[in-house]
Chains A and B, each alone.
Chain A
Amino acid sequence: MTELLTGAQILCRALLEEGVEILFGYPGGAIMPFYHALPEHPELRHVLVRHEQAAAHAADGYARASGRAGVCVATSGPGATNLVTGLATAHMDNTPVVAITGQVARAMMGRDAFQETDIIGITQPITKHSWLIEDAEELAEAVHQAFAVAQEGRPGPVLIDIPKDVQNQKVDGTAVDGKAGRRYGGTSQPATALPPYRLSAVQEAASLIAGAQRPLIMAGHGIVLSHAYDELRALAEKTGIPVITTLLGISAFPESHPLHLGMPGMHGEVHVNRAIQQADVIVGVGLRFDDRVTGNLAGFARGAKLIHIELDPSEIGKNVPVAVALVGDARELLRQLVDAVPARTCEEWRGEIASFMRPRAESFRGGLSPEGILEAIDQAAAGRCTIVSDVGQHQMWVAKLFRYQRPNTHITSGGLGTMGFAVPAAMGVVLARPGEPVWAISGDGGFQMNMQEIATMVQEGIPVKMAIFNNGYLGMVRQWQQFFHGRRYSATPIWSPDYVRLAEAYGIPGWRVETASEVEQAVQAALDRPGPALVEFLIEQEANVYPMIPPGASLSEPIESEAGSPRLAPV
């Protein structure tokens, strides 16, 4: 018996088959047939955002927190182009996001029709792959392929563009029912499966580690993506090698662990960067030696042999020369390495690193410091919350000062550095982790980029706890202006509305905290009140993030304090 289904109905069914529960989206002309079909499937919860960029970030946040693909939906033209920043963010940080966009009807395509845009062309360099659906018969298979591509291997965003008449096209539904449409062996498989890692390479890596005097482990996002937490810890504990976590590797290794060292790179602690510069072997796992991590490449870890454990073969040797490459899943390879490596300790080396440590420079006058705020947030949630940060000075403080104990509890836009990420991404994190406190921590600049999403939280009952570190500046840019542009604060002072009254306007509780003594109470109150809540912290205006490696300098040349900051003539 044939059952006629529209393309839109097929899309809904295919999403359900993929286990989708939540979509973030915004309707419009070219996606209306899909929105018409949606109420037939109440199992698909749709979250109406206030701007499509937020839909992409929320899907990204959902994916990072759940490990499953996040889904966002937009109409053609401006709806689709508003997704771009979110997709680029997901692409740089390897998050599985499936974007579904409406397109003008097939007969109108290529004629500059109303709200037509070549979203496949626009998103081509920031997606793993994309599909233009030219016949509803292809739709189910494309959706299943899209989810597979987004989630398999090194994850990333994908996009499915569906012309409006294809959404309305009626085809025989029985042919696409169930997962019969899946044909992964078909024409769209990538050319190469992962090359099998050489067993001898594991042995080579193990003997390098065994013979090292000053070894380090650098752990990146790959640990989180492959859930290799236990294996990472096993390697560290069997060998006594200290562990560095990159910005996206933060929380992959418990910070209370005696072998935990901290974050490397531009704002890494001095002892971490010095350890890198002194190391003779570095085991890099699931990271890509980004320029914010290495500083000037010519001066990076010159005495170290690198063992690079990485899923993507095109990353090997991209930025730094590698002595031993282990290409494959971090979890599996770490497991093998733990078996192959002899037990040892690194007492002397750890003592040496400890001697590099020095008290952190005082960056705050007055008592309302990021340390105090983060400590209160940690205490109030009894160590059970997820932190979603935005981009800028607060992002570095949140990365360095919060004591992350549980895996994947620190979520941030690392590669793209997208201001405005935290508030919408936190909505996705909350929906992936119901019942767990989620804090979106932003600066006053980033918060104002996507604060319209408070309305989404209210309408949908999404209890994001928002913290704003308000210093009245675009702080990180101001810091660069202070150091490298002769203190010419061009376009960095930024006015804010009254956030407490803003909260009130949206019908949520809000607090303004001006002194250290108010912090604990406000944080606790925000947590205790059901639903979204907002706390503004008026922090020191011209505080800086220390230490800092100036752009273009090597990890050996940090600016450690106000006194050490360059005094340049105005340029």
Chain B
Amino acid sequence: MSAAHAGMSAAHAVTVLMEDRLITLTRAVGLLRRRNLPVRSIAVGPTATPGLSRLTIMIQSDDTAADRAVKHLQKMIGVREATTFAAQDGVARELALVKVRAPAERYGELLDVVQLYHASVVDDSPEAMIVELTGSEAFVLSCIRALERFEVLQVARSGAVALEAGSHTYEDSHA
């Protein structure tokens, strides 16, 4: 399967297609805690199918631990599909909102950073602006580091959502 061999730790995405009920979400997340998985981020949101949501968990582990997590998730009632892939075998993106302040004389410099990272200013209040940026975890971190040259007041990150490369979809096979 992936390039990360058993025993080698790498970023893995575990994606879970499940009923969009809080009880199912609680059970799935509880399972990660109980099985002691090294979770880096968790994101959940709706899918193209009404009534189903997708939970994306990024973990830092070897293939074996990721596969075991999937096997446990597949046993859960309310879970339609659970899969895992090494992050390098798919696309993982997250969104961040950064509230940042710069003195008037460095305002132009701040806008240059925003532009450099293809980010956008989504709120420009007199005291501070909110910058929206999207990308891989590394890209987002690098942008936040760049913004830290100014005064960063707050950061909100979504955690990654991820899809495996290729054409398979659950919706295709179960519509």
Residues of A within 8 A of B (CB): 120-121, 124-125, 128-130, 132, 149, 187-192, 312-314, 317-318
Contact = CB atoms under 8 A, between A and B. Distances in A.
B95 interface: no
10 contacts: A120-B23, A124-B26, A125-B30, A130-B23, A187-B78, A188-B77, A190-B77, A191-B74, A191-B76, A191-B81
Contact of B77 (A120, A189, A312, A313): A189
Contacts, number: 47
A442 to B, nearest CB: 31
B68 interface: yes
Given A124-B26, A130-B23, A314 B77 contact: no
Contact of A312 (B19, B23, B75, B78): B75
Contact of A149 (B64, B73, B77): B77
Nearest to B81: A191
Given A124-B27, A191-B81, 12 more contacts: A124-B26, A125-B31, A125-B34, A129-B77, A129-B78, A130-B23, A187-B78, A190-B76, A314-B71, A314-B75, A317-B64, A318-B68
Contacts of A191: 73-76, 79-82
Interface of B: 19, 23, 26-27, 30-31, 34, 51, 64, 68, 71-82
A125 B76 CA distance: 11
B71 A124 contact: no
A155 B77 CA distance: 13
A312 to B, nearest CB: 7
Nearest to A153: B75
B30 A190 contact: no
A341 B51 CA distance: 49
Nearest to A121: B26
B30 A124 contact: yes
B73 to A, nearest CB: 8
A128 B73 CA distance: 12
Contacts of B27: 124
A190 B79 contact: yes
Contact of A314 (B23, B30, B51, B68): B68
A334 to B, nearest CB: 23
Contacts of A120: 23
Contacts of B72: 314
A90 B145 CA distance: 51
A317 to B, nearest CB: 7
Nearest to A192: B74
A188 B78 contact: yes
A128 B77 contact: yes
B65 to A, nearest CB: 11
A263 B113 CA distance: 69
Nearest to B80: A191
A571 B15 CA distance: 48
Nearest to A187: B19
Nearest to A125: B34
Contacts of A312: 75
